[in-house]
Amino acid sequence: MFKGPREAVRFLDAFEPPGGVDVVVCPPFAALAASVGRGVPVYAQNVHWAAEGAFTGEVSAAMLLELGVEGTIVGHSERRQYFGETDESVRQRCEAALDAGLEVIACVGETDAEREAGKTEAVLRRQVAVLPRHERLVIAYEPVWAIGTGKTATPEIAAEAHALIKELHDTQVLYGGSVKPENAAELMAQQTVDGALVGGASLDPESFAGICRAAAR
């Protein structure tokens, strides 16, 4: 929940992604319209499963498409943690978005307690199992214990989790968890890591561009 319309436009005016890498930005709902058409594909941070109805505060896939938005994140760990998202609601949102023609980044990942209890594989199997198979769906692995904490999964931990996800679902898998310019190259050098879902480090255009350059290399 950063950057309203004015800040989003300033960011995009300053952001210069390198060639050779696919980049999207995911502003808050209030900044989507201002961000569309400025040289970088725009995704939403969430979408509802219904086309319309008594769902105050929610936004449908058709509304996003009308704005020119090309895709959406679904099931982000913060949506699961703070807003009651479940595997079932994530499935519903994914299917509605894909059926409407949006690209989807579907997020999966274990909490610190689940990792400590040795449940990482079981959690990933459960979360990935509900996701539809579709050419426009990409999965992001977000170890919840590494989001906003400064902790980062080692390249080996990330590679192992990504390998499991790829066994379960034939798609690209992004890593999301305290990715920054200093660690991006090592993380994305792993064979099973196809890219990054960047959080706090994407708020500064030069920092985000640095991560994109690491991916391009």
Label each residue of 2-64 as H, E or C.
Answer: CCCHHHHHHHHHHCCCCCCCCCCECCCHHHHHHHCCCCCCEEECCCCCCCCCCCCCCCCHHHH
Which CATH number is 113's domain given? Answer: 3.20.20.70
Annotation marks residue 76 as catalytic: yes
Q: How far apart are CA 52 and CA 136, in angstroms?
A: 23
Residue type for 179, please? Answer: V
Q: How far apart are CA 37 and CA 54, in angstroms?
A: 31
pLDDT for 110: 96
Q: Return the bridge partners of 108, or none.
A: 141
Q: How far apart are CA 53 and CA 183, in angstroms?
A: 44
Contacts of 144 (CB under 8 A, 6+ apart): 77, 81, 109, 110, 111, 112
Annotation marks residue 16 as catalytic: no
**Per annotation, catalytic residue among 76, 85, 95, 162:** 76
pLDDT for 153: 84
pLDDT for 129: 98
pLDDT for 162: 98
pLDDT for 146: 81
- Block residue for tokens 């952001």: 15
Cα radius of gyration (the chain): 16
User: How many domains is the chain partitioned into structurally?
Assistant: 1
The backbone torsions φ and ψ at residue 209, rounded to the nearest 5 degrees and listed phi first, read -60, -35
pLDDT for 62: 98
Over the chain (217 residues), the average pLDDT of each successive run of 10 is 98 96 98 98 98 98 98 97 96 98 98 93 98 98 82 88 98 94 95 96 98 94
**Per annotation, catalytic residue among 85, 110, 142, 162:** 142
Domain of 129? 5-216
Q: How far apart are CA 197 and CA 71, in angstroms?
A: 14
pLDDT for 145: 85
Q: How far apart are CA 94 and CA 102, in angstroms?
A: 9
Structure tokens at 152: 């980062």
Please, are residues 107 and 142 in contact by the beta-carbon 8 Å criterion?
yes
